[in-house]
Structure 1
């Protein structure tokens, strides 16, 4: 835990002000600038200075390996390259609407090129995609409610959106067209994430629930109603930040940070167990570092807040089923060796569909299909 008293959380509902570029580079807004901190040493420095702009109010922040991006309360944004020591940044404007708060931003590579794109969810009901290589707006769409969080699918074709509505919106990532509305939540939504597997989606709403959806079949009920894979209950309040762990980091988990005091680390394979981390103070966001081996949590309490770093203790665990977890697998393998079929057929335990069809055709007694 690196205690800090310079964290600035300005919005009572938005909780996406922590970004992480690597194990030693984390970012959060402070008073008049964005601060960069090394969680391993506690050393910090300015990463983006707003001294010439007066009281710059940052509402959301995100970081990739090479870009630092912040969204602001008055409908504009700032970004800079992390590969340069120069702290100068590029400015842009999304809207002049009086309620143009930038609620959420996600930076990702374009599906058809290597150009970096930024997807902005705004409080004026607008969703905009900006090409950062030219600093120009590529697309703009309006929805029936303010958008609080969005997440794009790994193949860059779909996008999940949540906001001041009880429904979850699934939209075309390029056109913004609404493809599905998923019912079931009972309050407004502030968090969502799309898992690296491509089909698992998590949404967090103020009804104190996190719902897990399967993108391969949004509507699973016989009557066509939306049906989630699982419904998870939070401890004290709704989830404000949702993060799936990256592939290759060990057992897959979903981190659901509540508005204050509680971080839930959920088994993202079964969604049946979780580890609860109790903290003190409002939570400004979570981020994975070091390819998922570290979990950073920003706590904004003025007296006891700071940057909390948790290390995984199951490093190297398989993402899929591990036979060592089976008690029988601990016995001598030779005692459990599969038996052969009569004759010189293949091993029964490893018999493929092709082998079965071939054996059925030879016997003439079974339908090979």
Structure 2
């Protein structure tokens, strides 16, 4: 079998693995729930044409997938083995609904995977090369919303506004909320578009440093109720802007590149994660560090707050998600383990019932918070994961798969037999 790397599933599911010519066996682009029930692979991968089964391929991939790490040591890995929460897998909280390759997820940085956003159970935004695509699950149709391959000139002209044209932006980070689309670029760019208005409203370059990737962009409500957006960059800074005037509000420096930041539901605290095993909780107004969260063994790239504001989930290249009660931050209260790689995506449902945890490839885990995170569903697919997103009403979960042949958007629908009770926390 071939060695597995970041080139994608199609790089080793090659033509030579088929008994007949690939083009003569090409399947339909989409897969429905009914087709999946009738035995079709959810991604449309024609396993019957390969020399080995899906199960055999999965077994080999688990053994050979090369998880990228920066500082994790074998000794640290041994210590982690004693911390993992014992999880009961095999639950079914969300059922497969649809897969389309009419829109295909893509990524430009192998460590940044937040490029899929659902604004309703029918409206999804994702990156496809240089385009922001909108997918309507109702119409089963895709449409280009933004193209950043050519020159982008901001439409908003206000006195003192530090906006500037940009060209050929490689999008590394994305957020779609509150009727706004935020994009962060590989060279420190920031772009903002109003969903229902033409053109880019605001665009700028946040920093002129050589290594200036905009690792995270996000929108949130401040303690006063004002809409703000926040960015985290490789220049070791977090920046906050007013989302109405697009003016710079504040800037906080840190000791290492900030790979991810997220704001607590009440707008008071920032989770700050980056090129350090340490994770920080900072005050959103002053940037002052409130708590240091210690336990991870490598660099972190994902975080998510439970809607009650008391629980923070952090994802790390040590293949774990740690769960923290911010009222007692001296030690994580649970450690969730991945199967093959770093935890690069974390999302809670809006009601706090479920936590979705995405690895860099092949696996998305859904944990039931009501059970104390010990009951989980495992979504098993093939390909790099570009992003995950629950719909705001919790009814749907979307998974972007980045692959040269099998790149797609997967839709899962909540099972109607789920019995809701008060959240565990």
- What is the TM-score when the length of structure 1 is the normalising length? 0.80
Cα contact 1:148–1:163 (8 A) shared by 2: yes
Report how far residue 7 of structure 1 moved: 3.2
292 and 32 in structure 1: CA distance in 2 versus 1, 3 angstrom threshold: same
Q: Which has the higher contact order (CA 8 A, sep 6+)?
A: 2
Partner of 1:348: none
Which one of the candidate residues 23, 46, 64 is aligned to 2:121?
23
In 2: Cα distance, 1:239 partner to 1:62 partner: 19
Report how far residue 291 of structure 1 moved: 0.8
Which one of the candidate residues 270, 283, 295 is aligned to 1:172?
283
In 1: Cα distance, 2:284 partner to 2:294 partner: 20
Q: Classify the secondary structure of the residue corresponding to 1:292.
A: coil
Deviations 1:286-306 (A, max 9, x none): 111151110011001121121
Which one of the candidate residues 319, 322, 336 is aligned to 1:208?
319
Partner of 2:161: none
Partner of 2:264: 153
Unaligned runs of 5+ in 1: 219-225, 323-369
Partner of 2:361: 260
In 2: Cα distance, 1:253 partner to 1:33 partner: 30
Partner of 1:36: 134
In 2: Cα distance, 1:132 partner to 1:321 partner: 32
In 2: Cα distance, 1:135 partner to 1:58 partner: 20
Report how far residue 34 of structure 1 moved: 1.2
In 1: Cα distance, 2:225 partner to 2:377 partner: 40
228 and 79 in structure 1: CA distance in 2 versus 1, 3 angstrom threshold: same
Cα contact 2:174–2:217 (8 A) shared by 1: yes
Report how far residue 6 of structure 1 moved: 4.4
Cα contact 2:191–2:200 (8 A) shared by 1: no
Partner of 2:379: 277
287 and 278 in structure 1: CA distance in 2 versus 1, 3 angstrom threshold: same
320 and 113 in structure 1: CA distance in 2 versus 1, 3 angstrom threshold: closer
Partner of 1:232: 336
Cα contact 1:287–1:295 (8 A) shared by 2: yes
Which one of the candidate residues 150, 168, 186 is aligned to 2:297?
186
Deviations 1:244-298 (A, max 9, x none): 1111xxx711100000000000122311121100111000011111511100110
Q: Classify the secondary structure of the residue corresponding to 2:231.
A: strand
1:1-369 equivalence runs, <5 A: 1-4=99-102, 6-53=104-151, 54-84=167-197, 86-114=198-226, 116-218=227-329, 226-247=330-351, 252-269=353-370, 270-314=372-416, 317-320=419-422
Q: Specify the structure having the higher radius of gyration (Cα).
A: 1
Q: Classify the secondary structure of the residue corresponding to 2:344.
A: strand
In 2: Cα distance, 1:184 partner to 1:109 partner: 30
Q: Would you identify which runs of 4 or more consecutive aligned residues in structure 1 move more than 4 Å?
A: none
In 1: Cα distance, 2:232 partner to 2:319 partner: 22
Report how far residue 3 of structure 1 moved: 1.4
Q: Classify the secondary structure of the residue corresponding to 1:291.
A: coil
Cα contact 1:14–1:103 (8 A) shared by 2: yes
Deviations 1:215-255 (A, max 9, x none): 1121xxxxxxx2111111111112100001111xxx71110
Cα contact 1:293–1:315 (8 A) shared by 2: no
Q: Kindly tell me the number of residue pairs found equivalent between the two proteins.
A: 310
In 2: Cα distance, 1:201 partner to 1:99 partner: 29
In 2: Cα distance, 1:111 partner to 1:286 partner: 27
Cα contact 1:49–1:87 (8 A) shared by 2: no
Cα contact 2:106–2:386 (8 A) shared by 1: no
In 2: Cα distance, 1:33 partner to 1:152 partner: 27
In 1: Cα distance, 2:225 partner to 2:315 partner: 32
In 2: Cα distance, 1:268 partner to 1:280 partner: 26
In 2: Cα distance, 1:186 partner to 1:288 partner: 28
Unaligned runs of 5+ in 2: 1-98, 152-166
